[in-house]
Amino acid sequence: MKIIDNVFLVPGVMANSYIIMDADGLTIIDTGMPRSEKKILAYVSSLGKSANDVKRILLTHSDLDHVGGLAVLHKLTGARTYASQIEAGAIAAGTSSRQIKSSGFSMRRLMFSLLRPFMKAPHFQVDEILTDGQILPALGGLHVVETSGHTPGHISLFAPSVGVLFCGDSMVTDENGIHGSRPGLTWNDAKARESERRQAALGARIVCSGHGPIVMDATGKFPL
Ligand SMILES: [Zn+2]
């Protein structure tokens, strides 16, 4: 699905996977659950591009529904892969970067714990470590924004030239707007709130989250 010129949401992948198209090739943000690579590459084909056109794969954090397709996608595309130091360590270990609090009951958490033994991400070493403030050569300059809270090393990506923020799971979206990281899945609530404020101040017009619809008129819809 086209979001704006050169920015696309891959249909049918959980969590949301995004594709940015530039003259020098494609950038993918997050890779969905294991085996999502097929859907992602089918969508790349539908854009008239091939696996070899994928130049960069960026990971917001090391939860399975964001890094599941990474290893195979890297193998099939030869793309350079990127994550923050903390998340890269977790991706290398094939785990999440934080422990989910075990108190309280949630269907989602129960599902995760039941599925975990069958749904492990392969260990994978990313090529490059991302740091806060770094600018990647995509979408007119894609800024790395440190947004810890959901996980310790979570990052978002912001393209000021088009006002698009890719926030991973640092915030979730629904038909009512933009909300904080889901409580039962948040590593540190105070840091998560800080990251929400930080992102609200960026002046993004469009918010692309890991879970939920694209918010096209984001001004005033941040969780404050
Ligand atoms: Zn997550």
CA of 127 to the centre of ligand 1 (A): 21
Q: Does 85 have pLDDT greater than 60?
A: yes
Q: How far is the CA of 5 from the centre of ligand 1 (A)?
A: 27
Is residue 103 pLDDT above 60, yes or no?
no
Reported residue count of the chain is 224
C-alpha 116 – ligand 1 centre gap (Å): 14
Strand partners for 142: 136
CA nearest neighbour of 27 among 44, 5, 14, 45: 44
Q: Which amino acid is at 36?
A: S
Cα 44 to averaged position of ligand 1 atoms, centre (Å): 24
> Which residues make Cβ contacts (< 8 Å) with residue 200, sequence separation at least 6?
222, 223, 224
Neighbouring CB atoms inside 10 A of 101's CB total 12
CA of 23 to the centre of ligand 1 (A): 30
Residue 152: the pLDDT is: 98
- Per-residue pLDDT band for 121 (boundaries 50, 70, 90) equals confident
Residue 65 CA, ligand 1 centroid: distance in Å: 7
What pTM was computed for the model? 0.93
pLDDT exceeds cutoff 90 at 169: yes
Q: In this structure, what are the phi and psi dihedrals at residue 64, rounded to the nearest 5 degrees?
A: -55, -35
Distance, CA 216 to ligand 1 centroid (Å)? 22
Q: How many CB atoms lie within 10 A of CB 4?
A: 15
Q: Cα dist. 18→14, 32, 44, 207, 219 in Å?
A: 11, 10, 11, 12, 21
- Tell me: pLDDT of 117 over 70: no
Average pLDDT, the chain: 93
Strand partners, 81: 57
